[in-house]
Amino acid sequence: MSEIPGRKFALLPMLGHTKGKRSPVTCALKCDNACAGDVCNTSSNSYFRDIASTTLSRRAALGFGAAGALAVVLGSALNSSETAVADAGTGLSPAATTGYGAGASKLQFTAIPSIGADVDAVTVPAGFTWQPVIRWGDPIFNDAPAFDLANQTAAAQERQFGYNNDYSDILEIPGSKGRRAVLFANHEYTNENIMFPATMPAAEMRAIGAAAHGLSVVELERTNKSTPWSYVKGARLNRRYLNSTRYELTGPVAGSALVKTTADPAGRWINGTLGNCSGGTTPWGTILSGEENFNGYFVAPGTSASDKRYGLTNKPTARQWELDDRRFNANNPGYENETNRFGWIVEVDPFDPASTPKKHSSLGRFKHEGANVIVAKSGNVVAYMGDDERFDYLYKFVSKAKYVEGDRKHNMTLLSEGDLYVAKFSGDAPAAEIDGTGTVPADGSFDGKGEWLPLVVGGKSMVAGMTVEEVLVYTRLAADKVGPTKMDRCEDVQPSLHSGKVYVACTNNSDRGKPGKEGATEVNPRNENRDGHIVEITETGDQTSRKFTWNLLMVCGDPAQGDVTYFSGFPAGQVSPISCPDNLAFDSVGNLWISTDGAPSGIGRADGLFKVTVDGAERGRVEQFLAMPRDAETCGPIVHDDEGHVFVSVQHPGEEGTFAAPRSYFPDYVPAGATPKPGQVRAPRPSVIQVFRIAA
């Protein structure tokens, strides 16, 4: 196959398709212009308005002490170090009954002011500073060359930290007394326009770009708990997961005809992972990562119901990997099913560099943002998952087998078999009170009831006319048939290990209420939802329940700009403005932390990380902790408040610039004309950064 004449790189001609939220570059490269195309969900399923545990502490289970030291996990010591902590009387973890809420946090800070979208700096609270943990191009292995922006190669990139890190987590290495940890980061996509000089041959760009995708695991070290982390080049656990890395497909779809290809006639072994967005860390110390906008990497016939539902089209892809590898064109004989091998939840063991990563078919196939696991009172584990597309759905998985404290080998099988559900919400306000502006109904809250509609239960399909394999491969089509609620782009879905409540970040939906599209509902109460909202779910009974109640924690925006907002009754004049919630995390005392993606084109402010009090008198209080450099999105928050450390992934800094004319110099900030220090460059580099107190 040859390159398309006159088409050096497909990116720039595609720009300009953006609709409101994101920069054109993000739309083209990250989401394959998902918002520019038609809405994938054209199903006419239920119109919301017409229908009238014991929570195992994950921190504890991982080995965090009650005071909340870094996760102490695993390796060969796993079996003894998993300490499941629960209070059978209250159903809450011990920390929840002692010092819950904002005032109890050991990370006290004064909120930063809202920062303009064009500021090319990381802004942190007074008394704090920041520095990178690891940057794009940092050499991970002993044989890896130093990053050389002017002379990049695919071979070097395969041995260096990848691009556009999104989900991240840091788990302490057992026995290291807090001085050694392992960092996981995934690499969602690449920004070729700012990574490579325009003179670089396209084939080289493709090869390096491909090597900058995937996942990374790298060891960290520090002198003591109050000093910042550094990554360790050549450490034993360091690993890059590349397009050639082999993943084992688990669950009912393994071996199915729906996933067989010429290269994998068994339908069990998949090379690579794509579009990794958010993720989650399991109670047994593995990492989950969501394959999200995988469709953007494939040429496909684009004519079948499933191709249309998943946004697969018969046009050259932005990166044109199809020129180098036949499997990226599903029109090629033998590769018709290749697209079915992506769109899964991936599980990796960061403590075993020789382990085979998995893709879990039991958790369904869609544009997975991520997955977050909690152990239910029954012992089953429950994973909550969002499908990040306008008008798509919220899901949960309930494992068949039960969590066994201390048996990591067993626990690592829990996501391979179980039941899959999709959420249906109903509100209690009269339809006339949901007017599409976000104005709170007369009863004082957006709230109501909900149910988890079964898709697969007990190994059987609950969807008429579809087999279990079909339900799990074409999960969107299956869900359409059972009438779930169309949501405003569910991003992270995170259960609180303090309360068991589940938080859903609905980032935005530019199309809600537009002609021919579903209008506002109580759970998605704003038309042309620019700023997003957070849903709070309370399961009825334990986490495996099929029924729940819900309310909105907040309806985002900038009150000072006149936006209609709602912060659970907290005075709107006293909150940090917030737009486009994306990733969620909790600190050790149960405060919710929210990172944003898209605020610049919403409220015109830099994306950031925000602490939200969810309980007590200050419920709904939003305090901004940091702001991103120019064009960057905040991802992968990790809050080790007990140590005064906060980490975030800084994704796509300066993405609206070019290689020749950067818009950001994060994180090295080499001054113009200065000679860069070793390892530094005068160009934007996606990085994981750490924020910590300035030493007294």
The CA distance from 150 to 159, in Å, is 17
Closest CB to ligand FEO among residues 387, 405: 387
Tell me the closest approach of the beta carbon of residue 518 to ligand FEO, in angstroms: 20
Using alpha carbons only, give the angle 329, 277, 385 rounded to the nearest 5 degrees. Answer: 105
Closest CB to ligand FEO among residues 232, 274: 274
The entry of Ca ion, ligand FEO, none near residue 272 (CB within 5 to 8 angstroms by kind) is none
The CA distance from 134 to 144, in Å, is 14
Provide the strand spans (E) within 387-523: 390-392, 394-402, 418-427, 447-457, 460-461, 487-488, 490-495, 502-506
**Residue 385 near residue 371, CB atoms below 8 Å:** yes
Tell me the closest approach of the beta carbon of residue 492 to ligand FEO, in angstroms: 8
**Residue 254 near residue 364, CB atoms below 8 Å:** no
Confirm or reject binding of residue 506 to Ca ion (CB under 5 A). no
Confirm or reject binding of residue 330 to ligand FEO (CB under 6 A). no
Q: Which amino acid is at 232?
A: V
Tell me the closest approach of the beta carbon of residue 163 to ligand FEO, in angstroms: 14
Tokens of 370: 């991520």
The entry of Ca ion, ligand FEO, none near residue 492 (CB within 5 to 8 angstroms by kind) is none
Tokens of 377: 């009172």
Residues 345-404 touching ligand FEO, rule: CB under 6 A, are 369, 388
Q: Which residue has the tokens 């998943």?
A: 310
**Residue 362 near residue 417, CB atoms below 8 Å:** yes
What does R_g of the chain's alpha carbons equal in angstroms?
23
**Residue 596 CA neighbour count, 13 Å, CB half:** 41
Closest CB to Ca ion among residues 386, 657: 386
Closest CB to Ca ion among residues 189, 474: 189
The CA distance from 691 to 280, in Å, is 21
Tell me the closest approach of the beta carbon of residue 18 to ligand FEO, in angstroms: 15
Tell me the closest approach of the beta carbon of residue 388 to ligand FEO, in angstroms: 3
Closest CB to Ca ion among residues 445, 549: 445
**Residue 220 near residue 170, CB atoms below 8 Å:** yes
Q: Which residues pair with 359 in a beta bridge?
A: 249, 346
The entry of Ca ion, ligand FEO, none near residue 292 (CB within 5 to 8 angstroms by kind) is ligand FEO
Closest CB to ligand FEO among residues 26, 281: 26
Closest CB to ligand FEO among residues 340, 649: 649
Residues 482-501 touching Ca ion, rule: CB under 5 A, are 491
Closest CB to ligand FEO among residues 32, 491: 491
Tell me the closest approach of the beta carbon of residue 483 to ligand FEO, in angstroms: 24
Confirm or reject binding of residue 578 to ligand FEO (CB under 6 A). no
Cis peptide before 667 (omega within 30 of 0): yes
Closest CB to Ca ion among residues 399, 521: 521
The CA distance from 687 to 650, in Å, is 5
Closest CB to ligand FEO among residues 63, 581: 581
Residue 321: DSSP 8-state: G
Q: Alpha carbon 538 to chain centroid distance?
A: 22
Closest CB to Ca ion among residues 96, 490: 490
Tell me the closest approach of the beta carbon of residue 510 to ligand FEO, in angstroms: 14
Residue 196: DSSP 8-state: S
Confirm or reject binding of residue 580 to Ca ion (CB under 5 A). no
Closest CB to Ca ion among residues 445, 467: 445
Four-point Cα dihedral 10, 687, 281, 545, nearest 10: -60
Tell me the closest approach of the beta carbon of residue 34 to ligand FEO, in angstroms: 10
Confirm or reject binding of residue 607 to ligand FEO (CB under 6 A). no
Q: Please state, in angstroms and as integers, the Cα–Cα distance from residue 321 to each residue in 317, 324, 689, following that order.
A: 8, 5, 30
Provide CB contacts within 8 A for 326, sequence distance 6+: 1, 332, 334, 335
Tell me the closest approach of the beta carbon of residue 421 to ligand FEO, in angstroms: 21
Confirm or reject binding of residue 277 to ligand FEO (CB under 6 A). yes
Tell me the closest approach of the beta carbon of residue 21 to ligand FEO, in angstroms: 11
Tell me the closest approach of the beta carbon of residue 281 to ligand FEO, in angstroms: 18
Four-point Cα dihedral 587, 135, 277, 154, nearest 10: -160
Closest CB to ligand FEO among residues 112, 345: 345
* Closest C-alpha to 369, from 349, 340, 345, 399: 345
Tell me the closest approach of the beta carbon of residue 142 to ligand FEO, in angstroms: 32
Q: How would you list the strands of the sheet with 246-250, edge to edge?
A: 269-271, 246-250, 358-360, 345-348, 287-291, 276-281
**CA-based end-to-end distance of the chain:** 62
Q: Which of 419, 491, 539, 558 binds ligand FEO (CB under 6 A)?
A: 491
* Closest C-alpha to 243, from 209, 201, 267, 277: 209
Q: Which of 232, 277, 506, 646 binds Ca ion (CB under 5 A)?
A: 277
Confirm or reject binding of residue 447 to Ca ion (CB under 5 A). yes
Q: Which residue has the tokens 């199903």?
A: 43
Confirm or reject binding of residue 443 to Ca ion (CB under 5 A). yes
Binding mask 173-212 for ligand FEO (x = CB under 6 A): ---------------x------------------------
Confirm or reject binding of residue 430 to Ca ion (CB under 5 A). no
Closest CB to ligand FEO among residues 54, 186: 186
* Total site size for ligand FEO, rule CB under 6 A: 6
The entry of ligand FEO, Ca ion, none near residue 470 (CB within 5 to 8 angstroms by kind) is none
Tell me the closest approach of the beta carbon of residue 291 to Ca ion, in angstroms: 12
Residues 284-313 touching ligand FEO, rule: CB under 6 A, are 292
Helices (H) and strands (E) in the chain, counts: 12, 31
The entry of Ca ion, ligand FEO, none near residue 443 (CB within 5 to 8 angstroms by kind) is Ca ion
The CA distance from 292 to 387, in Å, is 8
Confirm or reject binding of residue 120 to ligand FEO (CB under 6 A). no
The CA distance from 577 to 563, in Å, is 10
Tell me the closest approach of the beta carbon of residue 188 to ligand FEO, in angstroms: 6
Tell me the closest approach of the beta carbon of residue 640 to ligand FEO, in angstroms: 24
The entry of Ca ion, ligand FEO, none near residue 314 (CB within 5 to 8 angstroms by kind) is none
**Residue 505 near residue 538, CB atoms below 8 Å:** no
Pairing of strands 460-461, 418-427: unpaired
The CA distance from 177 to 169, in Å, is 18
Closest CB to ligand FEO among residues 81, 595: 595
Confirm or reject binding of residue 569 to Ca ion (CB under 5 A). no
**Buried-exposed string 218-251: b where 16+ CB fall within 10 A, e elsewhere:** bbbebeeeeebbbbbeebebbbbbbbebebbbbb
Q: Hey, how many other C-beta atoms are within 10 angstroms of the C-beta on 553?
A: 24
Confirm or reject binding of residue 582 to Ca ion (CB under 5 A). yes
Confirm or reject binding of residue 429 to Ca ion (CB under 5 A). yes
The entry of ligand FEO, Ca ion, none near residue 429 (CB within 5 to 8 angstroms by kind) is Ca ion
Tell me the closest approach of the beta carbon of residue 562 to ligand FEO, in angstroms: 28
Closest CB to Ca ion among residues 248, 428: 428
| Residues within the interface to Ca ion (CB under 5 A) | 277, 428-429, 441, 443, 445, 447, 491, 582
| Residues within the interface to ligand FEO (CB under 6 A) | 188, 277, 292, 369, 388, 491
